[in-house]
Amino acid sequence: MSGQVLEHPAVLYDLEDVELLASRQSRSISTAVGGLQVALVAAAAASTLEGGPVLALAIDGAVGQVASVVHGFCDWYNTGSYLVRRLNALGLPVERAEVRRLTNAALMSRGRAIDERALDRSTELRLVRSWIGRGLVDALPFGSSLGRASVRAARRIDGSDLGAHLRRLRGEPGGP
């Protein structure tokens, strides 16, 4: 996906653009997932009355997992697009692997800036595991945090010295 972000980044030039796109994506995903949940629960209810409530909960959890992963990919694309636009504005050339690691770090960091420890290659696995792990919580009413990660990550990108992070990734002196 880093190649897609490099070649065709979303039109995200500021935080407001990121918020608007993330909001539209959340509404679209919620509508699609809601329809899927209704269809699956109706099918489960029509098949048998035995175990219906348990099956409905299992379906809700599975659909929550799917929604979480889809949201994760949307957040990744939004964050990567915003990152590429910022790097281009700063005149910093970047490669696919660097976009990938910086995007992962922006999404996994805590605080106001990208944490250099999150630039490790293992961050990607932790990121995907977090998407899967959040699925059940996000299926619960009022438990969802979906659609907000890209906005927080964009703020971290704005609060970071991207040139220094690139130097660190490239093994050049002057990294953070």
Sign, CA dihedral 137-138-144-145, equals positive
Mean pLDDT on 82-103: 94
Mean pLDDT on 40-56: 66
Q: What is the pTM of this model?
A: 0.82
pLDDT given for residue 131 in this prediction: 80
CA–CA dist 169, 176 (Å, integer): 10
The whole-chain average pLDDT of the chain stands at: 82
Q: Worst-scoring range by mean pLDDT, 50-59, 72-81, 93-102?
A: 50-59
> What would the two tokens of residue 96 be?
């696919």
> Tell me: the pLDDT tens digits for 122-176?
888 888 888 877 665 555 544 455 667 889 999 999 999 999 999 999 988 765 5
